Amino acid sequence: MFGKLVLRTLGWVGMAVAIVASAAVAQDKTVDPGNPGEAALEQLGREQKWRDERARFLAEHHTRAGIARYDELDFEAANAEFEKALQYDPRRKDARDYLRRTQAILGLRQAPVLDQYRRSVNIELELARQQMKVGLDKAGSFYDNGEFTEAVAMLDRVRELARYLAPSMNVEPCKSQADELLAKAEAARDARQAQEQDAIRRKAERVVKSNERAAKARDEQRVERLLNKARDLMLQYRYQEAKSIGETVLKADPANTEAARLRDIAVNAGIAHALAETARNANQETLLAMAQVDEACVPYTETLRYPADWGRIIRRKVETIGGEPEQEPAWMPGLREKLDQRVSFDFVETPLPDVVTFLQQVTNATIILDQKSLLAIPVAEVTLRVTDMPLSQGLDWIVKQVGLRYTLRNNAVLIGNADAVAGEPRLKFYDITDLTVKIRDFPGDMRRLRDVSLNQSGPGGKVWPGEDDPKREETDAGLTILDLIKNAIGADNWGDETIVLIER
């Protein structure tokens, strides 16, 4: 069919060429009638050129037709076409080579070679058919095992083999079966991919929700730490900073009622503290003014009579009795100099050992933390911010937060509980005769004096008893000094110290 179509097409082309050539010849007959010889030669040249072009064209046509017949294994028709091509153009090498091959097949009558070639072609077609059937079976196995992607790939291969075998044999049943199974496999594959995508999406949603919960938990912990810090600042009378923390929390979480409550308390407490401070300052100024007025109004009167050796007493140095004066250790000034260094830090729920390590690195001072004392306290975390403060004051705030104490011992700062920082008991004697001596009132009538220090003036003020006052009582100077020492030290700080007053 292909060869006939080529011949028919080329036939029409040849007729067109012949018509054009005839027209050219007819036109050339009118060339220069004054020179008949030259015109005749030119006409013959053009006609010869046209014949050569036509021969080459027809040779090309028959050669291509012969090659088409050769590929279709129609060697007899191919031989005829090649012979016609060589008739028109004996110099065509491709037509001559194909003609030699064709004649070798037909002229020598090598039937076994042709049969072998045909058998090889049939074997190849049969092999392709078997591959198509095996591929269809494998595709069915893949589909049954749920391997839909592999089944689709195998069915595509089966369809390619079917297209290859369609001109030679009937493969329509196999192709229909492959198409049907391919539609099922593609649908199952798409469904599985959709399920996998949905599973991936759900997993991503779970991860996002988990991250959101974790972020919310971290935010809640951060808010709780800020609120705790605000409470600590309020205990330190730093109301403005506590208010700022409450406002910061409310910016992030406007519905946080605890932050709003702390902010309002800090604002009110700050106002109350400022008012109290103002009133205190005003009261002190009033008392000072009243004292100055009383001093200016009441003439100076000698109310006490000093002993005869009072000059020697006031020049006496304080020293212990019964032992050498205590000498300060050589390492004490250097350690106190380190404690006077000014430091700045900001700890937020920092473990006490980390705080001690930081202070050691900053000040180069040896700070020892008693481990038994550390284990005995429930919470050993420090939340404190200090700016340009001596190390000694910073340590006071730090140990106060964790319920410990610190002392200087053996060229180091020891931090621990009361038992750990307590030193060995020492016995000292101090002469306080000048404090316990009884001073007698001067003779004569007592003058009523106002007690300026107690701000009790006027008719209701406190009066000094006279010599004949029946309410006058003698006081024991020793007991008064003991009470004074205890009151000065304080009940909370009174430890195992023992004070013994010896009268001599």
CA distance 162 to 133: 10
DSSP 8-state class, residue 320 = B
* DSSP character string of 219-235: HHHHHHHHHHHHHHHHH
Domain borders along the chain are 2-109, 327-424
* DSSP character string of 421-476: H--------B--HHHHPPPPPPSSPPPP--BTTTTB-STTS-----TT-TT-----
- What is the per-residue pLDDT across 73-95, written as a single tens digit (0 to 9) for each? 888 888 899 888 988 888 888 88
| Model pLDDT, residue 451 | 45
| Model pLDDT, residue 32 | 52
- Split at pLDDT 50, 70, 90, the class of 190 is very high
| Model pLDDT, residue 103 | 83
- Split at pLDDT 50, 70, 90, the class of 485 is confident
| Cα separation values, 406 from 392, 393, 420, Å | 10, 11, 9
**Strand-strand pairing, 342-351 and 412-416:** unpaired
Contacts of 281-287 with C-beta under 8 Å, sequence gap 24+, read: 287/455
SS3 sequence of 240-260: HHHHHHHHHHHHHCCCCHHHH
| Model pLDDT, residue 501 | 58
Those residues with Cβ within 8 angstroms of residue 33's Cβ, 6 or more apart along the chain or in another chain = 39
Which of the four CATH numbers 3.30.70.1350, 3.55.50.30, 3.40.50.1370, 3.30.43.10 does domain 327-424 have?
3.55.50.30
Name which residue leads in pLDDT, 260 or 492. 260
- What is the per-residue pLDDT across 302-338, written as a single tens digit (0 to 9) for each? 555 666 777 777 666 655 555 555 677 888 888 889 8
| 213-217, 260-264, 301-305, 310-314, range with the lowest pLDDT | 301-305
| Cα separation values, 188 from 92, 144, 147, 155, Å | 60, 11, 9, 14
CA distance 96 to 78: 12
Amino acid of residue 294 = D
Mean pLDDT of the chain: 77
Whether the per-residue pLDDT at 294 is higher than 80: the answer is no
The burial class, CB within 10 Å (0-12 / 13-18 / 19+), for 371 is exposed
CA distance 182 to 170: 20
Average pLDDT over residues 12-32: 44
Which of the four CATH numbers 1.10.287, 1.10.1740, 1.25.40, 1.10.3470 does domain 2-109 have?
1.25.40
Same topology for domains 2-109 and 327-424, yes or no? Answer: no
Q: Find where tokens 């090498």 sit.
A: 93
Name which residue leads in pLDDT, 489 or 56. 56
| Model pLDDT, residue 378 | 81
CA distance 370 to 151: 75
| Model pLDDT, residue 418 | 85
- Split at pLDDT 50, 70, 90, the class of 23 is very low
